[in-house]
Amino acid sequence: MKNIESEDEFNDLSNKGSVYVQFSANWCGPCKVLTKTIESIEDSQEDINFIKVDVDSHREIAQNFGVRSIPRVILFKDGEQVGDFVGAKNENDLKEIFQKSFK
């Protein structure tokens, strides 16, 4: 999962293809759980670009998307939001969400 370094990088990456964007923070326990789950399935989901936005470092991006709880995930397809959820999910739930959102 790629950690976003700037708003320009976020805009560039979130507008191309199928994109998983995880808003999280280093101090967030459920965020760590979700990150581990994503890392375990990331290689099998090669059509999806996985990126992470640290809400403490990039408050403006988080505010632009109304992030109030973390982990918050927003799914984009070619720049259009196609799904979102809050909280940690297991591997099977994530795969189902990906299938519905990115079909």
**Active-site residue numbers?**
28, 31
- Cα–Cα distance between 86 and 9 in angstroms, integer? 23
- Cα–Cα distance between 100 and 41 in angstroms, integer? 17
Asked if the bond preceding 71 is cis, omega within 30° of 0, the reply is: yes
